[in-house]
Structure 1
Amino acid sequence: MDINKLIKENRGTIIDVRTPMEFSGGNAEGSINVPLQELESRKEELELLKKPLILCCASGGRSGQATQFLKQQGIECYNGGSWLEVNYYQTQTA
């Protein structure tokens, strides 16, 4: 799956798994903040969002953990890496 293409074509939902403080300092346009430690308790909310979920964080580490957890829960998702990269691909034309 070409994650960059998914982002460019605005398919799916972008989930930022950083802390609310980090998220408030800058985030990808239209992304939703669901901190890594809240994923399990907000699973039902995530299941209702447009798929696939594209997860991002500061560097890709936490979003990688989130991707692994959500895939185990049967949720279609991909690790988008850094929110800065996701933001960059959003500005590119499809």
Structure 2
Amino acid sequence: MLSFLLENWSLVAVALVSGGLLLWPTLVGGAGGGVAPNEAVRLMNREKAVVIDVCEPAEFEAGHITGARSIPLAKLEGAKELPSNKNLPLVVVCASGMRSRRAVAQLRKAGYEKADALAGGMKAWREAGLPVETGAR
């Protein structure tokens, strides 16, 4: 076995690298990888999920999910706009999905165990052809 590994070290390296590349999205995304837009719609329609948009106000006005609550990431902790029922599912969204993952970590720490980021953010939502509304709320 050891002689095989030594004689074929380049094949072993290629196998390890390709395996790592296959696992990378799972490892990086982890629990914060989020829900796909179609799953977010299901959560909103069937489980009454609340959509929390953590974009800055100007980004929110430029386009957001219909019915989303605007709570910029910097103001998320202790925000009055968060639902009082911590058992409700939350779909957290931003432009690309990066800020929403940080927001999910904060929300889970605050007791919102059913908080998930929208994978790909508003970019993925738009690409899925789902409705977007503009203006402030």
Q: What band does the TM-score fall into relative to the shorter chain?
A: 0.7 to 0.9
Query: Do residues 60 (structure 1) and 91 (structure 2) align?
Result: no
Give the secondary-structure state (helix, strand or coil) at the position aligned to 1:47: coil
Task: Structure 2: state its 5+ residue gaps.
Answer: 1-30, 132-137
Are the equivalent residues in 2 in contact too, given 1:27–1:84 (CA < 8 A)?
no
Tell me, yes or no, if structure 1 residue 32 matches structure 2 residue 65: no
Task: Please give the per-residue CA displacement for 1:10-69, whole angstroms capped at 9, x wherever unaligned.
Answer: 230111100011100111122111100111130x54132672110010111100000001
In structure 2, the partner of 1:20 is 57
Higher strand share: 1
Q: What residue is the counterpart of 2:106 in the other structure?
A: 69
Provide the identity percentage: 28
2:82 matched to which residue of 1? Answer: 46
Give the TM-score, by structure 2 length.
0.55
Higher relative contact order, structure no. (Cα contacts within 8 Å, ≥ 6 residues apart) = 1
Q: Distance in 2 between matches of 1:90 and 1:72?
A: 30
Partners of 1:56 and 1:86 within 8 A in 2: no
Q: C-alpha distance in 2, partners of 1:31/1:86? A: 13
Structure in which a larger fraction of residues adopt helix: 2
Deviation at 1:74, TM superposition (A): 1.0
RMSD: 2.6
Tell me how far apart the structure 2 counterparts of residues 13 and 85 of structure 1 sit (CA, whole Å).
Answer: 18
Q: How many residues are treated as equivalent by the alignment?
A: 90
Flag the structure with larger Rg.
2
Secondary structure of 1:3's match? coil
